[in-house]
Amino acid sequence: MARKNKMQTNTVKKVLLYIKKYWAFLILSLLFAVVTVFATLYVPVLTGNVVDAILGPGNVDFPLIFKLLIQMGVIIGFTALAQWLMNVCNNKITYGVVRDIRNDAFSKIERLPLKYIDGHSHGELVSRVVADVDQFADGLLMGFTQLFTGVLTIVGTLGFMLGINVIITLVVVVITPVSLFVAAFIAKKTYHMFRRQSETRGEQTSLIDEMIGNQKVVQAFGQEEKALGRFDEINGRLAHYSLRATFFSSITNPATRFVNGLVYAGVGIAGGLAAISGMISVGQLSCFLSYANQYTKPFNEISGVVTELQNALACAARVLELIEEEPQIPDAADAAVLSEVSGNVQLKDVYFSYVPDRKLIEHFSLKVEPGQRVAIVGPTGCGKTTIINLLMRFYDVDSGAILVEGRDIRHVTRESLRENYGMVLQETWLKAGTIRENLLMGKPEATEEEMMAAAKAAHAHSFIKRLPKGYDTVIGDDGGSLSAGQKQLLCIARVMLCLPPMLILDEATSSIDTRTEMKIQNAFAAMMKGRTSFIVAHRLSTIQNADVILFMKDGKIMEQGRHEDLLAQGGQYAELYNSQFSA
C-alpha cells in the first residue's frame, strides 16, 4: 500500500511539472473560478431578499422585487461568461499538457534503443501513447473543471452560511466529514482497479494489432479459434477489472448523496426551529436551504472527480513510465562526423548477445577492404542479421570493437555512420505517402531525372508508371495494396538513389521473381562496384561472385574464402551448396 501511494504521489508530481508550463492559464482559471463561485453564491442572497419582500397578501414590494430580479439577471449572465472563460483556460491547460506528453512519448520512442522496441509489444506501446493519454485527458479536464469550483464552492458557502447563522452552519460542518471519509475509502479501491484495467486494455490492443496485421497467416494455419480464445480470455479479464473499477466508482455518488441528504435534513430541522423562534427570517431560511444544497453538491462532484483522477493517474503512470525509459546511449561529446568513407571496415574480437545468459557471437574478427563484396551465409540463428545490426550500430557490441576507416563506431555520430550505409532488408518498410516521398527519403534533394534513373535501375519504373498517378500515387502504411515484390523494388530503388559508399543487402531479392531477380542482380553488380558490400543470403546462387564468403555457425566464422575455394575444401559451405543444387 505504501509503495502504491508513493507511486501515485510521484505521478502527481510529474503531472504538475507538465502543468507548470501553463501557470498563466492556471491562475486565470482560478480567478474565473472564484468569480463564478462568488457570483453563484450571491444569487441565493438575492432570492432570500425577494422572499422577504413578499410580506403577505396585498403587501408585496414590487419595485424592490423588480430591482432584485434585474440584479439576479446581470449576475447570472456575468457568471455564465466567467464560467465559459474558465472552461477555455481549462481546455487550454488540459490539451496543452496532453500534447506535450504525447510529443515526449513519441520523441522517446524515436530515441529508445532497439532492444526495448524488440522486447515490448507494439500494440501495447500504441495503447500507452493513444488510449492511455486520452483517458488521462478526460480525468484531467474533469479535475480542472469541477475540482477548483467544487472546493471554492464549499469554502464560499461556509462563509456565506456563517454570515447568516453560526449554529446551523455548525450542524452542516459536523455531518459533512462523513462524506469525505466515504469518498477517500472508495478512492483507494479504485486506483488499483483502474491501473489493472489500463494494463489489460493495452494487452488487448496489442493482440488486436497483431491479429489484424497477420490475418492471412492466422487463417492459413487455422488459428482463428485459438486467437478468439485468447481474445476472450483477455476480454474477460478486461471486463472483470472494468466492472470492479466501475462498481467502486459508481457507489461513490450514491454514498455521498446519502450523507448530503442527512445534511439537508439537519439544516431543514435546525433552520425551521430557528425561523419559528425568530432567529432568522423565512427568506434567510430559504437562502440557507439553498446553500446547504450547494454546499453538499460539490462533494458529489469531487467524489466523482477523485474517481476519474484515479483512472487518469493510473493511465498517466503508464505513459510516464515510457517517457522515463532509458534512451539509447547518446553520441559521445567528442564523437566525430564520419566523412570521406572508402569502405574500410574491421571487426576486432567482437562479443555480443541479446540476452546475457545466452551467448551468440564470440571471438568474431573480420577485415574488409574498400570495395570488397562480403557474403554472409549459414543456418538460421547463426548471427547473420545480428552482424548487420552491429555494423549499423542498432546494437552496441558487448566487447571488442567495430572500426570504419580506423575509427571505433562508438566514437562517431550515429547519423554520419548510417548515412554511409545503404540498406535493403528482407522486411520492407514504406511510409504512408506518395511513391515519390518514399524514394526521396534518403536523398530529398535528388532531381526528377536521378529519381527515375534509380527506379529504372531497380526495374521499378515500369510498374510505377502503370499506377493511377505514377510517382505521385499515394500508398498506405507499409505499401498498402502493392505486392511484396513491388515494395521490395521500391526499397531497392531508394538505396540506388543514395548510392552510399557501403551497402547492406539482407535477403534483398527474397520477394522478387527469378527473371526480375537476374536483372536486379546485374543492377546490384553495377551498384556494388567500388563499394564495400555486405550480403546476407540463403540462396547461394546470388553470392557466387562475392569476394569473400563467410560461413557462420553459432556466432562464429567456420569457413572463409571465395566460392570456388570453399567448394574445393568440401566443408560445411560445400555441403550447404550441394544441398541446394543437388538436382
pLDDT for the residue 1? 52
pLDDT for the residue 560? 85
pLDDT for the residue 317? 84
Phi, psi of 179 (to 5 degrees): -65, -40
373-377 and 548-553 strand pairing: parallel
CA dihedral of residues 522, 526, 530, 532 (deg, nearest 10): -50
Instruction: Decide which of 3.90.1150.10, 1.10.110.30, 1.20.1560.10, 3.40.50.300 is the CATH code for 18-323.
Output: 1.20.1560.10
CB–CB of 338/404 below 8 Å? yes
Whether this model's pTM surpasses 0.95 = no
**Intrachain domains 18-323 and 345-581 with the same fold:** no
- d(CA 303, CA 147) in angstroms, rounded, equals 9
Domain residue spans of the chain: 18-323, 345-581
**489-527 per-residue burial string, b: 16 or more CB within 10 A, e: under 16:** bbbbbbbbbbebbbbbbbbbbbbbeeebbeebbebbeeb
pLDDT for the residue 84? 92
pLDDT for the residue 394? 87
* Signed CA dihedral, 489, 491, 495, 498: sign only: positive
Residue with grid cell 482559471, as numbered in its chain: 29
Q: What is the CATH superfamily name and number for domain 345-581?
A: P-loop containing nucleotide triphosphate hydrolases (3.40.50.300)
Closest CA to 90 of 26, 17, 13, 138: 26
- d(CA 486, CA 470) in angstroms, rounded, equals 14
Q: How far is CA 227 from CA 120, 208, 210, 236, 445, in A?
A: 19, 9, 10, 14, 47
Closest CA to 368 of 498, 502, 496, 527: 502
- d(CA 389, CA 393) in angstroms, rounded, equals 6
* SS (HEC) of 522-579: HHHHHHHCCCEEEEECCCHHHCCCCCEEEEEECCEEEEEECHHHHHHHCCHHHHHHHH
pLDDT for the residue 249? 73
pLDDT tens for the chain, 583 residues: list them.
556 566 677 888 888 888 888 889 888 988 888 888 888 888 877 777 777 777 656 677 778 878 888 888 898 898 899 889 988 988 888 888 889 988 888 888 888 888 888 777 777 788 888 888 888 887 777 777 777 787 888 888 888 777 777 777 777 777 766 766 776 676 666 767 777 887 888 788 888 877 877 777 777 777 888 888 888 999 999 888 888 888 877 777 677 777 777 777 777 777 777 777 777 777 777 777 777 777 767 766 676 677 677 778 888 888 888 888 888 878 877 888 888 888 889 989 888 888 877 888 888 888 888 888 888 888 877 778 888 888 888 888 889 999 998 888 888 888 888 888 888 877 778 888 888 988 888 788 889 999 999 888 888 888 889 988 889 988 877 767 787 778 888 888 888 888 888 888 887 666 667 776 776 677 777 777 788 888 887 777 667 778 888 888 887 888 888 888 888 888 888 888 787 765 4
pLDDT for the residue 183? 67
- d(CA 581, CA 51) in angstroms, rounded, equals 104
